[in-house]
Amino acid sequence: MRSFLTLSLTALLMFLLTGCAASLGTSPKGLELPIEKAAIKFSSDLNEGGYKIVSTDELKKWLDEGRKITLISALPPEEDAQFGRLPSAVNGAMPKSEKDLTQAQKDNLVKVAGTDKDQTIAIYCGFVACRRSHIGAKILVDNGFKNVYRYPAGITGWVESGYSLTK
């Protein structure tokens, strides 16, 4: 009886482990390492940046409720023109990396954000691993804005959720 129970449990365990090994993980293509790398970088950016994050569903809810929010696209203006923006978003273009950041870009972003340091601001770019929104959110926090959110899924997550863009 004991050996039957052991054999049954072993078979069940093998079945469960085989099922886990056969799954594709987080990525549809089964490429987990790039996702891990992006997640670790995102976590590091979040800790360094001093801003909060907002999910796609939460941001959509804020907009649907008419919450007063300044929504900023950190994408280049030509990409906004080509693909569109999230509803009511204004452009505050940021470079792909901090080493390419100019004082004029910093000044423009702060100008676009407005003068109310207590307002809710959400900044986005293309997708989770895109760092333009991190750079922008960090600049806003460094300039005294208190309610800065980064929308990490960006335009890609917005479109994947079936939400519309404006031109």
Residue 156's nearest CA partner among 101, 50, 89, 83 is: 83
Least confident piece of the model among 14-18, 31-35, 43-47, 78-82: 14-18
pLDDT at 26 over 80: no
What are 88-104's pLDDT values in tens digits?
Answer: 999 999 999 999 999 99
- In this prediction, residues 152-157 reach a mean pLDDT of 95
pLDDT at 21 over 50: no
DSSP string, 105-143: HHHHHHHHH-S-TTSEEEEE-SSTT--HHHHHHHHHHHT
Please give the CATH topology (third level) of the domain spanning 49-160: Oxidized Rhodanese; domain 1 (3.40.250)
Residue 126's nearest CA partner among 87, 98, 160 is: 160
Calculate the alpha carbon distances from 2 to 12, 15, 105 in Å: 15, 20, 72
Whole-structure pTM value: 0.81
Give domain limits for the chain: 49-160
Q: What is the pLDDT of residue 13?
A: 33
What is the rounded CA–CA span in Å between residue 123 and residue 86? 10
